Amino acid sequence: MAIFSDKVNNMQEARTWRELLADIIRDGKEKQRLVEELGITSITLTRWVNGESDPRPQNLRRLVSVLPQYREQLRVLLKEENDFSEEAAPEARQLTKEIPSEFYARLLQARASTSENLRFWSTCHLILQQALEQFDPERLGMSLWVVRCMAPSGPYNKVRSLRESVGLGTPPWPSNLEQTAVFLGAESLACNVVTLCRPSIVQDIEKECLTMSTEWVEYERSTAAYPILYAGRVAGVLLVSSTQKNYFLSQVNTDLIQRYADLVALAFDSQEFYALEQFALSIMPPPEEQKASFAKFRYLVSQTMRDAAQKNQLLSNTQADLLVWQRLEDELLKIPVLRSTCTCL
């Protein structure tokens, strides 16, 4: 108890933000957490403490956000030394809220020249790259997913789930999110958006998760989901998540998400958009249970292509992938799921 009291006193007596940070990272676990949350090295953190280097403004803002228990003390110490302002980042983000006209030309050219098998992935990837640069130029932490409807299946030939398909992120998320992709069922925010055919935004997950059945992703503090539409039908959802609470309060931000969702529609074929009566969404098992099935994905793709070759049928990798995803979807939907409350962060 005495050791803990001394530690608290030392932090209260810190004269600079560097001294406070030095006290905080004496805890090895806390130091490692900061390294991971900030997307920096342990050496960089030590250099900040020793005054050998200065963090970029966005890293200072991120430091404050990941240390909520020291937020007020850090704000005071940083303002005394650096005239620090947490509000500088949101203001700066609002300066570039139009999609550059040259990007439209680049997108249309790429779409016209890309082979059919690669068109969906390459178009989505190009759009998400541009969106990520605009939404998170200071790399405070954001993830973007194109979530697509699975093709109608089952006894009633209906769309039964959605699948995270193409995803990009900035730290603390990995740059390529596709290795973490899962199916989303009726319990998810994305499926709710598809069913209602209108956007849904959660500004503060910590407050709202108690009233929603969705399972939230690690690091996610606010999220927005916009339907991908064409002629009154829907192909999926553009899902945007931030490590910052209330990121989507700005009308400018949400208008920009809508524009990107409209652009993503270009990646889909017309037959991939479904009318509302074609949906019968079911509950999917939690991501942890799904991942056990995904471990055999590559093996199943190879097996599917071999079986087709034996029947003198030619399957592309894309076609084989789709058949395996449909098989896995069917298996997962047969797993009984009992879920009454969400998993809060």
Distance separating alpha carbons of residues 307 and 313, to the nearest angstrom: 9
**What is residue 3's predicted lDDT score, i.e. its pLDDT?**
42
**What is residue 214's predicted lDDT score, i.e. its pLDDT?**
63
**What is residue 11's predicted lDDT score, i.e. its pLDDT?**
53
Burial class (CB in 10 A: 0-12, 13-18, 19+), 269: exposed
Identify the residue whose tokens are 């640069």: 133
How many other CB atoms are found less than 10 A from the CB of residue 322? 16
Please give the angle made by the CA atoms of 21, 27 and 32, to the nearest 5 degrees: 85
**What is residue 85's predicted lDDT score, i.e. its pLDDT?**
52
- Determine if the peptide bond prior to 286 is cis (ω within 30°): no
The per-residue DSSP string of 157-216 comes to: TBB--EEEEEEEE-TTS-SB-GGG--EE-TTSHHHHHHHHTS-EEES-HHHHGGG--PPP
User: Which of 335, 336, 333 has the alpha carbon at shortest distance from 282?
Assistant: 333
3-class SS of residue 152:
coil
CA distances from 152 to 83, 246, 271, 285 (A): 57, 36, 11, 19
Averaged pLDDT, groups of 10, the chain, 345 residues long: 45 78 91 82 88 81 80 82 52 60 91 88 95 87 96 93 95 89 94 94 81 70 96 96 89 92 96 96 91 86 87 81 90 71 47
CA distances from 101 to 96, 163, 187, 261 (A): 12, 31, 38, 16
Residues 125 and 168: beta-carbon distance below 8 Å: yes
**What is residue 336's predicted lDDT score, i.e. its pLDDT?**
67
Distance separating alpha carbons of residues 2 and 174, to the nearest angstrom: 41
**What is residue 210's predicted lDDT score, i.e. its pLDDT?**
53
Name residue 183's beta-bridge partners.
Answer: 163
pTM tops 0.75, yes or no: no
Residues 99 and 40: beta-carbon distance below 8 Å: no
Name residue 76's beta-bridge partners.
Answer: none
Residues 304 and 323: beta-carbon distance below 8 Å: yes
